[in-house]
Structure 1
Amino acid sequence: MNWLSDHVRPRIQRLVGERKDTPDNLWTKCRSCDQMLFLKALEENLNVCTNCGHHHAMSVEERLNSLFDPGYQRLDMPELPADPLKFKDKKPYPARLREYQSRTGEKDAIVVASGQMGGSPVVIAAFNFAFMGGSMGRAVGEGLVRAADEALRLNASLLVIPASGGARMQEGILSLMQMPRSIIAVERMREARLPYIVLLTNPTTGGVTASFAMLGDLTLSEPDAVIGFAGRRVIEETIREQLPDDFQTAEYLQDHGMVDQVVSRLELRDRLVMLFSLLRNVPGSPASTSNGTQQADETDLPVMQEDEPNPSFDQV
């Protein structure tokens, strides 16, 4: 045995050359059709299966790169007190935050960036489901407010891309307060008549669904995304009925009027460019006059009486 290992094997290795290490992450299996996929080809196809079209999870950075024109900038988020409730489950909340920050490289579950999309100014607020399930706490609420503020400052459109399990339990009532905060931020966009589009991704549930995620001028979704408030099992046990197999899917919600369009990720950027262009050119909107595509004077604006509420963007 020593003769084989000491003499024969080295001679064979010299003849055939040293074996090059092969990375173990070259291939991945589609979660829908079980087809083996070359990882690089999958990433180049925006993480959409080339065999069945299943939309795999996408990192925030990949999503921003796929939508923005080159040269977008991230917005800095303010530092917030880490643990106002002194919450502890299996580990203290600050330790859990540090764990996910180290794992994802992000401060929290939302990233806000501004740039151009098809030459038009857009602010994007994208959720990171890998960070504590995309749960909405104070940092996420602050991110949504910052995104709306930046869109108003730049006279830009706002695109929000939720992927969340709902409010963050470790922040208790403070996380639930982000629901009305986000609604107010959206309402400010509506009052300014600036486009606000929501792109629902898998999954979008809980308090996120019950607040800003269903208030877009247009609501889009990726295929097969799970969208709902309570879980399927909870609903079935409550109403004591069997729900349809496609219940709480993007396609089901589109059929029932909750989603405007289900759009493949491969077509998403072009679709968003078109929709933002249409919304920004609505007569009387500030965006239509600022980008030079339409010059409107005060006579183009709807005449409002003092006791009338400000019209929503989709009523213009």
Structure 2
Amino acid sequence: MAWFKKEKAPESAAPPRSKGGEGMWLKCNHCREIVYRKEVDRNNKVCPKCDYHFPISVMERIGLLVDLGTFKEWDKELEPRDPLDFHDTKSYKERVKAQQEKTGRKDALVIGEGLITGRRVVLCVFDFSFMGGSMGSVVGEKLCRAIDRALADKLPVILVTASGGARMQEGILSLMQMAKTSAAVAKLGEAKLPFISILADPTFGGVTASVAMLGDVIIAEPKALIGFAGPRVIEQTIKQQLPDQFQRAEFLLEHGMIDMIVERKQLKDTLSTLVNHF
């Protein structure tokens, strides 16, 4: 049956792929347009097409909000334990160690003190790159310690959230942080000290359901996704299609869930105005 035999043409070696273009372009998470990375970087990591604010690192965030060289980190040595001896495809200890090596920090929250146009503030910033910014025992403890120091020195507290919610590997101990941090924020209210919450993309789960939505002033970045459960889960539960742009910051502002939407380049000035006012 020689008719069906087809001689293969000799394979030509593929030309070497140039690495010059790798990493030069980004796809926007909101408008799905391809944008030039350097243009995004020059624009404070904001999409030039639709004004979507890309996630930024903790140190970039701190650099944008406080006066240069004034931030002093607290309690950076705190790290999580494994009280449940939790295992899924790998142990919780292994997951934590891998995240610590990747990010260079012990857990998903950085706390400390800095100056905003010369005024002392306590600043707490979630790190989404550490296990999705999930809130476990260490995150709850660090946030409470930051609030205790703010109470002692009568300082305002600014919290920047970017989180997927509570950390399942710590079970009920993680869920308890919702009540623990909420009680700490209530003390700020009793002491008449301002608590300002900034919601970055994304802010979800137990963090949204507790401390993130307790701010005296709640600010969101443009186009940020904010909610408790994801839209797909909600649609499957209620058997209805959700409105367009549901859970985006603009939708929440329209429905009274947040106080204002502020572009990244204007955040520091806005915080300065609010802190001076309070």
Assess same fold via TM > 0.5.
yes
Distance 1:38 1:202, change over 3 A: closer
Query: Quick check: 2:80–2:107 contact (8 Å CA) kept in 1?
Result: no
Normalising by structure 1, we get a TM-score of: 0.77
- The yes-or-no answer on 1:160 pairing with 2:165 is no
Distance 1:220 1:168, change over 3 A: same
What residue in structure 1 maps to residue 189 of structure 2? 190
What residue in structure 2 maps to residue 203 of structure 1? 202
What residue in structure 1 maps to residue 51 of structure 2? 53
Q: Which has the higher strand share?
A: 2
The one-character-per-residue Cα deviations of 1:229-263 (angstroms, maximum 9, x if unpaired) are 11212222222211102111111110010010011
Q: How many angstroms apart in 1 are the aligned matches of 2:76 and 2:204?
A: 24
Tell which has more relative contact order, 1 or 2 (C-alpha 8 A, sep 6+).
2
What residue in structure 1 maps to residue 5 of structure 2? none
Whichever of the two has the greater Rg, that structure is 1
Match of 1:65 among 63, 66, 83: 63
Q: How many angstroms apart in 2 are the aligned matches of 1:26 and 1:135?
A: 28
| 1:80 positional shift | 4.8
Normalising by structure 2, we get a TM-score of: 0.88
Unmatched segments (≥5 aa) in structure 1: 1-20, 280-316
The one-character-per-residue Cα deviations of 1:190-231 (angstroms, maximum 9, x if unpaired) are 111111000011111111111111111010000111111112
Query: Quick check: 1:35–1:51 contact (8 Å CA) kept in 2?
Result: no
The one-character-per-residue Cα deviations of 1:110-164 (angstroms, maximum 9, x if unpaired) are 1012111011111111001111011100011011101111212222110111111
Query: Quick check: 2:79–2:106 contact (8 Å CA) kept in 1?
Result: no
| 1:64 positional shift | 0.2
1:245 maps to amino acid: D
| 1:42 positional shift | 2.9
Partner of 2:242, secondary structure, is coil
Distance 1:60 1:184, change over 3 A: same
Q: How many angstroms apart in 2 are the aligned matches of 1:81 and 1:128?
A: 15
Partner of 2:274, secondary structure, is helix
Off by >4 Å, runs of 4+ in structure 1: 21-26
What residue in structure 1 maps to residue 25 of structure 2? 28
Q: How many angstroms apart in 2 are the aligned matches of 1:160 and 1:53?
A: 22
What residue in structure 1 maps to residue 216 of structure 2? 217
What residue in structure 1 maps to residue 4 of structure 2? none
Q: Percent identity?
A: 47
- The yes-or-no answer on 1:240 pairing with 2:259 is no
Superposed, 1:1-316 pairs within 5 Å as 27-31=24-28, 32-39=31-38, 41-70=39-68, 71-77=70-76, 79-80=78-79, 82-279=81-278
Distance 1:278 1:82, change over 3 A: same
Query: Quick check: 2:162–2:199 contact (8 Å CA) kept in 1?
Result: yes
Q: How many angstroms apart in 2 are the aligned matches of 1:246 and 1:176?
A: 29
Partner of 2:201, secondary structure, is coil
CA RMSD of aligned residues (A): 1.8
Query: Quick check: 1:128–1:134 contact (8 Å CA) kept in 2?
Result: yes
1:204 maps to amino acid: T
Unmatched segments (≥5 aa) in structure 2: 1-17
Query: Quick check: 1:122–1:159 contact (8 Å CA) kept in 2?
Result: yes
Query: Quick check: 1:30–1:49 contact (8 Å CA) kept in 2?
Result: no
